[in-house]
């Protein structure tokens, strides 16, 4: 944990600088996954502090839905059993110029072994009224929007 806090401030700007140089426009996906008890799935990375909705970048030759399916298996051990429903699109210019994030509601899924290789520190299921304090603000806003507590914002 201490390592992440010391290295993150150095690595994060370098990673985003590389993305800016190698890609003009970027697209990311995030999935809102709920279990039978109504809890939402969140992940914590090894390389950055805080909790996030699972997801990541759409790769060349991959549709957004394919990317979501891949990221859910990799990061969280969740395999889609039906199509996820696109619920919102957000500009993420505040953090990365030219970036957009698609948010999907995942209603049909089954557990499977995660395929990540050291990227995820931990996976957790949280009740909507007991979300972790370190949940990133944009992710917290997406949950509030999807579950009727706030109007959708076009900005991440």
Residue 144 has pLDDT above 70, yes or no: yes
Check pLDDT > 80 for residue 10: no
Q: Which of 64, 80, 60, 4 lies closest to 28, judged by CA?
A: 64
Q: Residue 49: count other Cβ atoms within 10 Å of its Cβ.
A: 15
Average pLDDT over residues 107-129: 96
Q: How far apart are CA 80 and CA 61, in angstroms?
A: 20
Q: Which residue has the higher pLDDT, 130 or 98?
A: 130
**Rounded to two decimals, what is the model's pTM?**
0.84
2 pLDDT higher than 60: no
Name the pLDDT band for 20 (thresholds 50, 70, 90). Answer: low
Contacts of 93 (CB under 8 A, 6+ apart): 99, 155
Q: How large is the average pLDDT for residues 53-77?
A: 97
Which residues share a beta bridge with 28?
57, 101
- For domain 2-146, the CATH class is alpha beta
Break the chain into its structural domains and give their ranges.
2-146
């Amino acid at each position: 944990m201490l390592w992440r806090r010391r290295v993150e401030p150095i690595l994060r700007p370098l990673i985003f600088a590389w993305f800016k140089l190698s890609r003009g426009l970027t697209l990311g996906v995030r999935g809102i996954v709920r279990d039978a008890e109504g809890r939402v799935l969140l992940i914590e990375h090894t390389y950055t502090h805080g909790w996030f909705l699972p997801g990541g970048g759409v790769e060349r030759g991959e549709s957004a839905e394919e990317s979501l399916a891949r990221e859910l298996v990799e990061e969280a051990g969740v395999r889609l059993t039906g199509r996820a429903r696109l619920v919102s699109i957000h500009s993420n210019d505040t953090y990365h110029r030219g970036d957009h994030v698609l948010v999907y509601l995942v209603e049909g899924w089954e557990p499977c072994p995660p395929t990540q290789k050291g990227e995820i520190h931990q996976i957790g299921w949280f009740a909507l009224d007991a979300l972790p304090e370190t949940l990133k603000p944009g992710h917290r806003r997406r949950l509030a929007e999807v579950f009727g507590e706030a109007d959708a914002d076009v900005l991440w």
